[in-house]
């Protein structure tokens, strides 16, 4: 009977591979006809809407690793849409049966034994249609997740605020007629760079345009500029200290405090992003005919000040997608604090951690033994289980939680986008089919995402390992496990 199942699985796999090749050819043709506006356009991933390739991008989660050369291919074989995640039995003669625990164990357990993986390793694989775990190896044991904790951060923020929420940056009237105050609202994607078209991040230039217009309308041509960062409390520096992977955490910054022209990944950072943003804004006002006296100074705007101008970020759905695709630590910490503000906690590292934990508990996720210490996963005090990460993804696929869908649509595509762009071989089984969030710290490697198996069944997985000594080897081992799921009927 076992051999009959394996023969049937091989036949189904051949059929699936033929369909995949045909789909890839069709998508390649479609990609040439689609004008790609970028990976985030008006809150929706262009590649998701068009089912075509996104723009080239380098991985965002390096944390000290060497740069890698980009792949030569461009078209992306999009994963199948998420099915309903509410538990329900399969029905009908044509229903695709889920993989079985023994079948998955035959495939995954030998790969989990790879000596390149660290001393602590765990795994959880869940069937999206039933919402049930079909394979687990120490799935409930907590470990350091690194950046895969961003899945939890994104789900918490979306749950608390909704996908359409936008973060405001405002200019308000100060106590004196000559005083204006630039008030940070917590948008790390606020940009001082040139923008064009629609769907771009909030622009400091637009805020300067609107502010200058409002000042001239009331006859003011000379002002003193202050800047307000009182929305956040507690330490500005992440516990890892000054680091090229994250700026000081402040509610006012432009382009994440980057001192080069990058938009993701490691970069030199400003020591005081808020003051830098205010100086840039003052220069923009001067260019528009407003005389700004002296240097901008830190000051609070006061209670209920009169607004002169405001700009809004892209929708939260787009911020979550960008955070996950490029593993953006600055956005992650900002979203954790937005969650804190939404639930009435202080917008600090501690308050954000409590708020994210509370939202995960409200989503009825398994938090036994878990500790959320930050939003980005840079803190080694973060500890979560593979079961928690997998169930975050199951909730995001649940038709009862459409607000969480950006957690899925933001996942990098193996071999094509974000932090998975330079992973998975050109002819690898998982290439274009595995979609997953990566996690990398010294001695820590994790991978959590979705995959469509050889039978067309949508699965979610979370693989974690701590205590690794060969980061690239551990990444390859985790990628091999995800690819094995893609190539598996596993019954």
Report the alpha-carbon distance of residue 94 to residue 92 in Å, rounded. 5
485: its two tokens? 């799921």
First-to-last alpha carbon distance for the chain, in angstroms, is 11
389 touches 31 (CB < 8 A): no
Catalytic, out of 122, 159, 205, 327:
327
From the list 157, 154, 182, 155, the residue with the least C-alpha distance to 170 is: 182
Q: State the burial class of residue 119 (Cβ atoms within 10 Å of its Cβ: 0-12, 13-18, 19+).
A: exposed
Helix, strand, or coil (residue 229): coil
Q: State the burial class of residue 254 (Cβ atoms within 10 Å of its Cβ: 0-12, 13-18, 19+).
A: buried
59 touches 265 (CB < 8 A): yes
What backbone torsions phi and psi does residue 447 show, to the nearest 5 degrees? -150, 125
Q: Region of 175 please: left (phi>0), alpha (psi -120 to 50) or beta.
A: alpha
DSSP annotation of 407: H
Helix, strand, or coil (residue 357): helix
Query: Tokens 């210490």 — which residue?
Result: 373
**204: Cα separation from own chain's centroid:** 24
Is 147 catalytic? The answer is yes
Report the alpha-carbon distance of residue 434 to residue 429 in Å, rounded. 9
Catalytic, out of 124, 150, 376, 483:
150
21-26 CB contacts, 8 Å cutoff, 24+ apart = 23/77, 24/75, 24/77, 24/432
**479: Cα separation from own chain's centroid:** 19
151 touches 450 (CB < 8 A): no
- Bridge-based pairing state of the strands 291-292 and 222-228: parallel
Beta strands in 307-378 (DSSP E): 307-312
226 touches 182 (CB < 8 A): yes
396 touches 159 (CB < 8 A): no
Q: What is the largest CA-CA distance in the chain?
A: 87
Is 437 catalytic? The answer is no
153: its two tokens? 């951060």
State how far the alpha carbon of 255 is from the alpha carbons of 7, 171, 200, in Å: 55, 18, 13
Is 230 catalytic? The answer is no
Catalytic, out of 122, 147, 385, 483:
147
From the list 136, 313, 286, the residue with the least C-alpha distance to 221 is: 286
Q: How many CA atoms does the CB half-sphere of 1 hold within 13 Å?
A: 1
**361: Cα separation from own chain's centroid:** 20
Catalytic residue positions, numbered: 147, 150, 327
């Amino acid at each position: 009977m076992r051999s009959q199942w394996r023969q049937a699985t091989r036949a189904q796999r051949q059929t699936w591979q033929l369909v995949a090749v045909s789909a890839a050819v069709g998508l390649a043709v479609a990609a040439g006809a689609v004008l790609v506006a970028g990976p985030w356009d008006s809150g929706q991933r262009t590649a998701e809407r068009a089912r075509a390739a996104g723009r080239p991008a380098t991985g965002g989660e390096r944390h000290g690793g060497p740069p890698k050369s980009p792949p030569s291919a461009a078209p992306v074989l999009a994963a199948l849409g998420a099915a309903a995640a509410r538990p329900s039995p399969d029905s009908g003669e044509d229903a695709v049966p889920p993989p079985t625990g023994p079948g998955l164990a035959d495939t995954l357990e030998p790969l989990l034994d790879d000596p390149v993986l660290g001393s602590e390793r765990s795994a959880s694989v869940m069937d999206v249609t039933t919402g049930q775990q079909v394979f687990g190896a120490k799935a409930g044991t907590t470990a350091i997740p690194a950046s895969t904790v961003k899945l939890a951060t994104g789900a918490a923020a979306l749950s608390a605020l909704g996908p359409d929420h936008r973060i405001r940056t405002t200019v308000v009237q100060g106590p004196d007629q000559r005083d204006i105050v630039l008030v940070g609202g917590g948008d790390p994607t606020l940009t001082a760079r040139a923008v064009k078209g629609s769907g771009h991040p909030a622009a400091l230039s637009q805020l300067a345009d609107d502010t200058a217009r409002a000042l001239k309308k009331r006859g003011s041509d000379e002002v003193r500029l202050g800047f307000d960062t009182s929305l956040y409390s507690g330490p500005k520096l992440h516990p890892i200290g000054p680091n090229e992977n994250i700026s000081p955490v402040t509610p006012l910054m432009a382009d994440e405090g980057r001192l080069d022209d990058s938009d993701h990944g490691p970069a030199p950072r400003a020591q005081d992003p808020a003051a830098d943003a205010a100086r840039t804004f003052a220069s923009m006002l001067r260019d528009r005919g407003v005389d700004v006296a002296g240097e901008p100074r830190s000051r609070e705007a006061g209670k209920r000040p009169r607004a002169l101008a405001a700009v809004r970020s892209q929708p939260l759905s787009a911020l979550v997608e960008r955070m996950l695709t490029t593993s953006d630590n600055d956005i992650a910490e900002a979203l954790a604090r937005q969650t804190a503000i939404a639930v009435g906690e202080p917008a600090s590292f501690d308050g954000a951690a409590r708020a994210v934990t509370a939202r995960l508990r409200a989503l009825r996720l398994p938090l036994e033994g878990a500790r959320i210490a930050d939003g980005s996963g840079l803190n080694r005090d973060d500890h979560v289980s593979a079961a928690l990460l997998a169930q975050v993804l199951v909730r995001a696929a649940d038709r009862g939680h459409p607000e969480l869908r950006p957690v899925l649509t933001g996942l990098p595509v193996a071999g094509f986008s974000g932090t998975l762009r330079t992973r998975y071989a050109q002819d690898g089984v998982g290439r274009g089919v595995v979609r997953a969030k990566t996690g990398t710290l010294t001695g820590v490697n994790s991978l959590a995402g979705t995959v469509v198996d050889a039978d067309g069944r949508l699965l979610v997985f979370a693989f974690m390992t701590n205590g690794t000594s060969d980061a690239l080897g551990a990444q390859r081992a985790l990628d091999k496990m995800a690819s094995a799921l893609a190539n598996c009927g596993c019954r």
